Every structure is written in C-alpha cells, then in structure tokens.
Amino acid sequence: MYNSNTPSPDELPSSSQLLRSTALAVLAAVVLLMAVVLPAEYGIDPTGVGSVLRLTEMGQIKQQLATDAATDAATPSAAVPPAPAAITAPQAPAAIAEAAQAAPWRDEMSLTLTPGEGVEVKLRMQEGDQAQYSWVVEGGAVNFDTHGDDGGRSISYEKGRGAPADEGTLVAAFTGNHGWYWRNRGQADVKLVLRTRGTYSDIKRAI
C-alpha cells in the first residue's frame, strides 16, 4: 500500500501568500468583467477597451435582440404593425423598384434571413456625408434599426417593425459606421435587397 508523504508546515503557503493570490484572482476577474464581459454582453464599456476590440458593438446588438424578443412576446401575434407612413405596404416594393431604375445605384446587396435571424450592413462615412438607400423585402417583412456607431459613440436614426421596404437618405451624424440592422420575425425565409449610392468609402456586412 502506497502512502503519500505529508508536506511539512514549511512547504505549505502562508496566510499572506493565500491572501495575495486571492486578491490577484479577484482583481483579474474585475478587469475581465469591466473590459470584456460588460461590453460583449451588455454594450457597456466603462474602460474603452470594448470599443477598441469591437466588443461593445456586439453587446449592443445582443441587447437589441433581447429587446426585440421581449417586445414580440408582449405583442399579440394577430396584430400586424402598420408600414412606415411614407410607404403603403402593398405598393412599396414596386414603387421602390421603379425608383431604383430611374437612377443608377452604386452598390446592391442581396441577403437571405431565416426565421429569427438578424443581419447588419454598414457604410463607412465621414461626418455630414449623405447616402441614398432603398431596401425591399421579398416574401415577408422585417424589423429594422437604422443607426450609427464608432469610438464609443452611437445614434439611432429610425426604427420600424413589420416593414416590407424603406428608402431615404442617410446623413452621417459623425465619422464612423452607419447603416441598418434587420431581423426576420416571420415564420419563413425572406430575401432582402439593399441598394445604395452616395458618399461613403465602404459597405460591408457586419460579422
């Protein structure tokens, strides 16, 4: 039978060493909470590190998703929100398609959203830049949030629910990323077609 050797008292860590190790562990946990967890999960960035690592944006999207889900759960399924006042739902896709044919668009992007899926597309713009846009949903409608963010700053230009289309001019309130977040709350896949033109340096789908 094997008997392990019992360590001598001199080999055991002292109370001060244990306290120091505990304090270092607590400090590391607090740093991770402030720099990583709060920005990535809640969009709160007290240190500024989250914005540098683009964690704050991810946290803001998560909070938006949670808000959408809570609002949808509280809304009766039979209630269909009206389309934006400037667009009549049955005529919106055709009207916007005609407008798109009247002038050339700089970029066009097609996105497929499965039920419950959200997607974000952003333009890189300087303060005061203007971009004309038109997007149409084929096969349903979406919730949307037109917004901007950069370097800890953020702005929401417009929000909508159950919208089949939208068009207008996006004016950048500050230098940074400005664009749209869409979420499919329907029961079937939808195809969203986005067309843009104007003053911006880049357009990309956010990961």
Is 114:187 a contact under the CB 8 Å cutoff? no
For the chain, percent of residues with pLDDT exceeding 70: 63
pTM: 0.56
In DSSP terms, 120 is beta-bridged to 181
The 10s digit of each residue's pLDDT in 16-65 is 777 887 878 778 777 776 776 666 677 777 777 666 666 666 666 766 66
**Lowest mean pLDDT segment, chosen from 2-6, 41-45, 157-161:** 2-6
* Residue of higher predicted confidence among 82 and 199: 199
CA dist 140 to 36, 81, 147, 181, 187, Å? 37, 13, 22, 16, 9
Q: Please give the domain boundaries of the chain with CATH numbers for all domains.
A: 14-75 (no CATH), 83-205 (2.60.120.680)
The 10s digit of each residue's pLDDT in 70-87 is 666 654 443 334 444 333
User: What are the start-end ranges of the H helices in 75-160?
Assistant: 92-102
In DSSP terms, 198 is beta-bridged to 131
Q: Mean pLDDT score of the chain, rounded to an integer?
A: 79
Tell me what pLDDT residue 60 has: 67
* Residue of higher predicted confidence among 197 and 14: 197
Over residues 149-171, mean pLDDT: 94
Over residues 3-23, mean pLDDT: 69
